[in-house]
Amino acid sequence: MPAAADGYVKWIPQGVPWRNWHDTVKVPIRGVAMIYPPTNLAYGSASINRTTALIQQAIAAAKAAGDSIRAVGRGWSLSDLPATSGRLLDTGQLTNMKAIRADQIHPGYPGNADARAGLWLVQCGTRISQVNRVLESDAVGRSLRTTGAANGQTIVGATAAGTHGSALGFGALHDHIVAIHLIAGPDRQYWLERASRPVLKDSLPATLGAEVRRDDQLFNAVLVGLGAFGVIHNLVIETRKRFLLKSVSFDKAANGKPLLLDAAMRRVIATLDFDSHPLLKSPAGHGRPYFFQPIIDPNSKPSEVLVTLMYERPWKAGYAPDYRLADSTFGPGYDFLTVVGRLLDVFKPAVPFFAQVAKGQLFDTSARTGSWGEIFGFKVTRTKVASGSVAVPLERALATLDLLIGLNQDIGPAPLVFGCRYVAKSPALLAMNRFDTTFVVSIDGVHNKTSMNFFDAIPARMEAAGIPFTQHWGKVNGYTPARVAATFGSDFSNWVAARHVLLPDAADRALFSNSYMKARGLDI
Amino acid sequence: MRPHAGLAVALSCCLSACASHVIRAAEAEPYGVAGQPFTVGQTSIGGARGLSTAGSGHVTRDECRSDNLAEVEVRRNVGQTLVTLLTLGIVSPATIRFTCATQRPAPPPTPDDGL
Q: How far is B33 from chain A (nearest CA, A)?
A: 7
Instruction: Decide: A85 and A29 in contact? Cβ < 8 Å.
Output: yes
- Identify all chain B residues contacting A131, using CB atoms and an 8 Å cutoff: none
Q: Do A46 and B28 touch (CB under 8 A)?
A: no
Q: Which of B15, B111, B114 sits opposite A207 (nearest CB)?
A: B114
Q: Which residue of B has its CA nearest to A322?
A: B27
Q: What's the whole-number mean pLDDT along residues A45-51?
A: 95
Q: What's the whole-number mean pLDDT along residues A267-289?
A: 91
User: Pairing state of beta strands B19-24 and B30-31?
Assistant: unpaired
In this predicted model, what pLDDT tens digit does every residue of B58-99 receive, in sequence order? Answer: 666 667 777 778 888 898 988 898 998 898 888 888 998 888
The yes-or-no verdict on residue A329 having pLDDT over 70 is no
- Identify all chain A residues contacting B64, using CB atoms and an 8 Å cutoff: none
Instruction: Decide: A104 and A204 in contact? Cβ < 8 Å.
Output: yes
Helix and strand numbers, DSSP H then E, in chain B = 3, 6
Spatial distance between the Cα atoms of A72 and A387, rounded to a whole number of angstroms: 19
Greater pLDDT, B41 or A175: A175
Q: Do A137 and B110 touch (CB under 8 A)?
A: no
The yes-or-no verdict on residue A331 having pLDDT over 50 is no
Q: Which of A32, A76, A130 sits opposite B102 (nearest CB)?
A: A130
What is the pLDDT at residue A334? Answer: 46
What is the pLDDT at residue B9? Answer: 54
**pTM (two decimals):** 0.90
- Identify all chain B residues contacting A97, using CB atoms and an 8 Å cutoff: 107
Spatial distance between the Cα atoms of A79 and A275, rounded to a whole number of angstroms: 39
A342: confidence class by pLDDT, cuts 50, 70, 90? low
B104: confidence class by pLDDT, cuts 50, 70, 90? low
Q: How far is B36 from chain A (nearest CA, A)?
A: 6
Q: Do B20 and A137 touch (CB under 8 A)?
A: no
Q: Do A18 and B34 touch (CB under 8 A)?
A: yes
The amino acid sitting at A65 is A
A359: confidence class by pLDDT, cuts 50, 70, 90? low
What is the pLDDT at residue A94? Answer: 93
Instruction: Decide: A302 and A260 in contact? Cβ < 8 Å.
Output: yes
In this predicted model, what pLDDT tens digit does every residue of A453-495 receive, in sequence order? Answer: 999 999 999 999 999 999 999 999 999 999 999 999 999 999 9
Greater pLDDT, A471 or A251: A471
Which own/partner contact pairs does A505-512 have at CB distance under 8 Å and 24+ positions apart? A505/A185, A507/A63, A508/A63, A508/A184, A508/A185, A508/A188, A508/A230, A509/A228, A510/A68, A511/A59, A511/A62, A511/A63, A511/A68, A511/A69, A511/A185, A512/A68, A512/A69, A512/A70, A512/A227, A512/A228, A512/A229, A512/A230
Which alpha helices (DSSP H) does A22-149 contain, by range?
45-65, 113-116, 128-135
Residue A6 φ/ψ region, left for φ over 0, alpha for ψ in the -120 to 50 degree band, beta for the rest: alpha
User: How many beta-carbon pairs below 8 A join chains A and B?
Assistant: 102
Q: Which of B28, B35, B113 sits opposite A21 (nearest CB)?
A: B35
Q: Do B15 and A339 touch (CB under 8 A)?
A: yes
The yes-or-no verdict on residue A251 having pLDDT over 90 is no
In this predicted model, what pLDDT tens digit does every residue of A411-468 receive, in sequence order? Answer: 978 888 899 999 999 999 999 999 999 999 999 888 888 999 999 999 999 999 999 9
Greater pLDDT, A376 or A347: A376
